Amino acid sequence: MSDEPVLKAVNLVKIYSDGAVPVPAVRGVDLQVEAGEFVAVMGPSGSGKSTLVHMLGGLDKRTSGEIWLDGQRADTLSESAWALLRRKKIGFVFQFFNLVANMTVADNVELPALLAGASTKEARERRESLLDALNLTGRADAAPAQLSGGEQQRVALARALANQPSVLLADEPTGNLDSRNTRDVLRLLGQVHKDGQTIVMVTHDARVAALADRVVSLLDGEIVDDGRLSRPRRRTVGEVIDLR
Amino acid sequence: MRLHLLALLAKEPAHGYELKQALEQTFGSAYPSPNIGQIYVTLGRLEKDGLVRSVGVEQSNRPNKKVYYLTAKGRDVLHLWVDEPTEGPRVRDEFFMKLVLAPMTGIADRMVLINRQRRHYLSLMKDLNELLDRTPPEDKIATLLIEGAMLHLQADLDWLERCQEDLS
């Protein structure tokens, strides 16, 4: 799997045809994500970025094209087979945290690992280390509603990482957070990326996008730019931007 | 820098090197370290304009050092500066002029210009992320300065997106 991209899309198309007129949302996207890469997907609203990421994760059915996950063709699988593959290989974070309201924080985080086939012991150990890394150990027995938005998003991130996914897919994970909580989530994403996690993330938040190695820009359902960001240089704020 | 030095001198009289240190301590790592030569040149001009005055203080086994203090006129100028509203940052019209004019000449494509500019802004944001990372959170002044720069960059990027939607 070394030279195999973690995620590959070939001429991916999505046309919504529920209305009177078919609406093309994604119009022939080719994308290849290598292991350990952090790709930010940017673009105006309606450019197809959420649809693209949802398709890559199997949450939205493609109209045509191919999706490959760890060298395996995913889009031709049956719905249940893809669901199984998804549990093992994909972690999801959304703008709204989508935690299970009547389960504790600990159970929310353990669930995906258990669904992916981990033993109870493995799932618990993984949960403990994740909550610890996110400074949430003290909140393990709380219900999601008792947490602040920033804490809920950190739990959602822990949950997404619980099954040690090949790729973490995220759709505006900081879209609903204030700047302090954004900073916490940012630090965390930087950390998991440094530890080798492959990430594909839709965001309009430039601070989050700037953590990525590579930025893909969409416009009207097509990729209009795909490039690597240069490594940060150590500078003072006055050298980076002239405020006056 | 004139008014920044006046403000520091309104607190207490100081010599040039102390002013440099005060600027560094107040603004922290985020701000470019002020050049001592520039501080002395500025103090000389302020003195010539009657906004500050200096007295020589004797030092054992060293040349006298000049300690500067604020004059009444200097205090008036400082008050005027503090009381008047401050101009906001200007729109970055340099890029906009390129964006509008370059395609007319056939030199460049708008999409190429916008994409290149976006990468540039995001690289600047990467530098700011790095800067924020190594700024201790208790250094509030530096942190706010960096966050301000980040918000400006975010606005520039949002505006770039608007340009891309409407001009391409």
pLDDT in tens, B29-84: 777 778 899 999 999 999 999 999 999 888 888 878 899 999 999 999 999 999 98
The region that residue B137 occupies, defined by phi over 0 for left and psi between -120 and 50 for alpha, beta otherwise, is alpha
Q: Please judge whether A241 and B152 are an interchain contact, meaning their C-beta atoms are less than 8 angstroms apart.
A: yes
A to B CB pairs, distance under 8 Å: 105
Nearest CB partner across the interface for A239, out of B32, B119, B162? B32
Q: State the pLDDT confidence band at A241, using cuts at 50, 70 and 90.
A: low
pLDDT at A242 over 50: yes
Phi, psi of B57 (to 5 degrees): -115, 130
Residue A240 in this model has a pLDDT that exceeds 70: no
Average pLDDT of span B2-29:
90
Say yes or no to pLDDT of A243 above 60: no
Å between A160 CA and nearest CA of chain B: 24
The mean per-residue pLDDT over the stretch B135-159 comes to: 89
| A179:B154 CB<8 A | no
Average pLDDT, chain B: 88
CA A81 from chain centre, in angstroms, equals: 21
pLDDT of residue A134: 79
Question: What six digits make up the tokens of A17?
Answer: 């045809």
pLDDT in tens, A39-64: 999 999 999 999 999 999 998 999 99
Nearest to B31 among A217, A224, A236 (CB): A236
Encoded amino acid at A194, one letter: K
Residue A132 has pLDDT above 70, yes or no: yes
Total H helices, total E strands in chain B: 7, 2
Is residue B64 helix, strand or coil? strand
Closest by Cβ to B129, choosing from A204, A211, A230: A211
Q: Which residue has the higher pLDDT, A9 or B132?
A: A9
A112: distance to nearest CA of chain B, Å? 32
Q: Which residue of B has its CA nearest to A206?
A: B154
- Sequential DSSP letters for chain A: --SS-SEEEEEEEEEE-SSSS-EEEEEEEEEEE-TT-EEEEE--TTSSHHHHHHHHTTSS--SEEEEEETTEE-TTS-HHHHHHHHHHHEEEE-SS----TTS-HHHHHHHHHHHTT--HHHHHHHHHHHHHHTT-GGGTTS-GGGS-HHHHHHHHHHHHHTT--SEEEEESTTTT--HHHHHHHHHHHHHHHHTT-EEEEE---HHHHTTSSEEEEEETTEEEEEEEPPPP----HHHH----
User: What is the ipTM for the molecules in this complex?
Assistant: 0.84
Nearest Cβ partner of B125 from A179, A207, A235? A207
- Kindly tell me if the per-residue pLDDT of A244 is higher than 50: no
Contacts with B31 from chain A: Cβ below 8 Å:
236-238
Chain B residues contacting A, CB < 8 Å?
29-33, 89, 111, 115, 118-119, 121-131, 134, 142, 145-150, 152-154, 157-158, 161-162, 164-165, 168
Is the minimum CB–CB distance between A232 and chain B shorter than 8 Å? yes
d(CA A133, CA A107): 17
